[in-house]
Structure 1
Amino acid sequence: MLAFIGGTGLTRIDGLVIHQRHALETRFGAPSAPVVEGELNGAPVLFLARHGDPHTRLPHQVNYRANLLALKEAGASAIVAVNAVGGITAATGSLVIPDQIIDYTWGRHSTFFDGADDPLVHVDFSWPFDRALRDRLRIAVEAAKAPWQDGGCYAATQGPRLETAAEIQRLEQDGNSIVGMTGMPEAVLARELGLPYAMLSLVVNPAAGKADREITMAEIEQVLHDGMAGVRRALAALAANQPSP
């Protein structure tokens, strides 16, 4: 079953017909919110609000292991994660389907296999986002008729503060095009669980030093409002065109 993880601006999905809420408890604790099972465009889907519903958890406080394991236990077979990001080279208001990620976070639980009795596991993470799922997501974004960018590198920073202009300059020199705080360890945990994973990132503001004036929260909220409409259309299109089991 296709699963969606919603970030800032997407704690719920319009048009989702809810059948059941799974209040799961995993061996790593409880996820941020119950896993919602329902139908979107007539197709079965799962949904989880990454930061809780309502939004209460900062990026470094999210129990990513519990979130991913809860989705797996609820029947997820693939995951599309939505995030609000800053644009380093990507334009504000556009949707980005990244194909690479660089992890700048620290202190987060980034593996399921760090217990004393767990096996020693190293997963191949050369290409962190599933190619086939990205192909389907591209078609869905095209159908949503939203401005978008195919490919790009997501810089995962620790937060919760935003970056300095100097840090953004370094991230750009490293080859990043967008910056967010939730991409890792979410992506690698999905890989450890064998779940195809792709991102749909909405650029809500220019990154630090990339605008010639101060960006206000009102402007960001407006971009979130307008851009998430395109995200919802894309998710609905993706759900309606799931491959046969």
Structure 2
Amino acid sequence: MERMIGVIGGSGVYQIDGLEEAEWVDVETPFGAPSDQILTGRLNGRQIAFLPRHGRGHVHTPSTVPYRANIFAMKELGVTDLVAVSAVGSLKEAYAPGDFLIVDQYIDRTFAREKTFFGPGLVGHVPFAHPTCAQLSALCAEAARGTGTAVHEGGTYVAMEGPQFSTLAESRLYRSWGADVIGMTGMPEAKLAREAELCYACVAMITDYDCWHPDHDAVDVAQVVATAMKNADKARALVAALPELLAASKGCDEGCGQALDGAIMTAPAKRDPAMIEKLQTVMGRVL
């Protein structure tokens, strides 16, 4: 089966240029509509799907992004490899605004979001010790280096609820934990991608130093947007390089596509038929 790239674009990345056969399509899901229509087409010969996480015009808050619908829709379209592009704040001096960081760990501090496809009548638990796909992440790092951007491979992303930025005390706390960057949309996106058995990688575009840095003003939207827009062209160049890199790579051996093996706890006779029907797209392989 040919691997298909999906891209979820964060702040500043609302469009992918250069697509052949480009079309914005509607995708219906049992969890409602995704954040926006999904842009489909071919990029350097490979099928790709792009979704602006906040919607074109930035209409969704971090808490109201329909994460389940977004992941479900990507799976419905045939995506196998999902790349998330996210604007983040830096918690370390060495990670400067304008740099890219390839995330490999998360600390989930969100509390107002639905975080699983499972529910009453169909209970399951997926492994999540390593929440991103190392193989896809390595391809993203290679593509990012090709843009001339400073790239940091591996780092911990603190996902906060928002939409307010951190207090100084919170920022200092997260630094004491050894976290590297902070954002508002990394969770539950990564968790849902794992449940949907997608290879998932996160390219974090650093826009600011959060509020801990003594030489850095308090974070404001104008600053974040300005840096995000500067990064957007590099993010699009990164995405453009991925089809060729993916085509030349071996298939994923990280087990992402088998994440649901042994995950479902509910006995077959007790499984809710409505839940089984609802989740065929993301879990049909094991249901």
- TM-score scaled by structure 2? 0.81
Partner of 1:227: 231
**How many angstroms apart in 2 are the aligned matches of 1:93 and 1:85?**
10
Offset of residue 218 of structure 1? 4.2
Determine if contact 1:35/1:74 at 8 Å carries over to the other structure. no
Q: Deviations over 1:21-79 (max 9, x none)?
A: 22111111110111211122332211011111121000001110000000100111110
Give ranges in structure 1 of 5+ residues lacking alignment: none
Aligned equivalent of 2:66, options 44, 63, 80: 63
Say what the alpha-carbon RMSD is for the aligned residues.
1.6
Q: Which residue of 1 aligns with 2:49?
A: 46
Q: In the TM superposition, what are the counterparts of 1:20-99 in structure 2 within 5 Å?
A: 20-89=23-92, 90-99=95-104
- Offset of 1:217 from its aligned partner? 4.3
1:103-122 → structure 2 map (5 Å cutoff): 103-114=108-119, 116-118=120-122, 120-122=123-125
Name the residue aligned to 2:127: 124
Question: Which amino acid in 2 is paired with 1:158?
Answer: E
Q: Which amino acid aligns with 1:199?
A: C
For residue 82 of structure 2, give the secondary structure of its aligned residue in structure 1: strand
Alignment of 1:170 with 2:173, yes or no, is yes
Structure 2 residue matching 1:81: 3-state secondary structure:
strand
Paired with 1:32 and 1:219, the residues of 2 have a C-alpha distance of 24
Structure 1 Cα separation of the partners of residues 61 and 43 of structure 2: 28
**1:85 counterpart SS class:** strand
**Structure 2 unaligned spans of 5+:** 252-287
Secondary structure of 1:59 counterpart: coil
**Length, aligned pairs only:** 243
Deviation at 1:160, TM superposition (A): 0.3
Q: Which amino acid aligns with 1:38?
A: G
**Structure label with greater radius of gyration:** 2
1:216/1:29 CA distance change after superposition, 3 Å: closer
* Residue of 159, 164, 172 corresponding to 1:161: 164
Verify the 8 A CA contact 1:144 1:237 in the aligned structure 2: no
Provide the C-alpha distance between the structure 1 equivalents of 2:165 and 2:21, rounded to a whole number of angstroms.
Answer: 35
Give 1:206's match in structure 2, choosing from 206, 209, 212: 209
Q: Distance in 1 between matches of 2:99 and 2:216?
A: 20
* Alpha-carbon distance, 1:213 to partner: 4.2
2:8 alignment partner, SS class: strand
TM-score (norm 1): 0.94
Name the CA distance, whole Å, in 1 between partners of 2:216 and 2:158: 23
Is the counterpart of residue 7 in structure 1 residue 10 in structure 2? yes
- Over 3 Å counting, the alpha-carbon distance change for 1:9 and 1:74 in structure 2 is same
Of all paired residues, the percent bearing the same amino acid is 37
